[in-house]
Amino acid sequence: MGIFNKLFSGSSEPKEEKVLPWLPLNAMDQLDIILEKSKTKTQLIFKHSTRCGISRMVMNQFVSAYDLEMNVDLYYLDLLSFRDVSNEVGYKFQVMHQSPQLLVIKNEVVVAHASHGGINEIVLEQFE
**Residue extents of the structural domains in the chain:** 19-127
- Superfamily, domain 19-127: Glutaredoxin (3.40.30.10)
Q: How many residues does the chain have?
A: 128
By percentage, how much of the chain surpasses pLDDT 70?
Answer: 88
pLDDT above 50 (res 120): yes
> What is the average per-residue pLDDT within 21-48?
97
> What is the average per-residue pLDDT within 87-99?
92
Distances 61 to 32, 54, 111, 120 between C-alpha atoms, Å: 29, 11, 22, 7
**Cross-strand pairs, 106:** 109
Question: Directed axis angle between helix 29-37 and helix 83-93, to 10°?
Answer: 40
By percentage, how much of the chain surpasses pLDDT 90?
Answer: 80
Whether residue 70 contacts residue 127, with contact meaning beta carbons closer than 8 Å, is answered with: no
**C-alpha–C-alpha distance, residues 12 and 126, integer Å:** 39
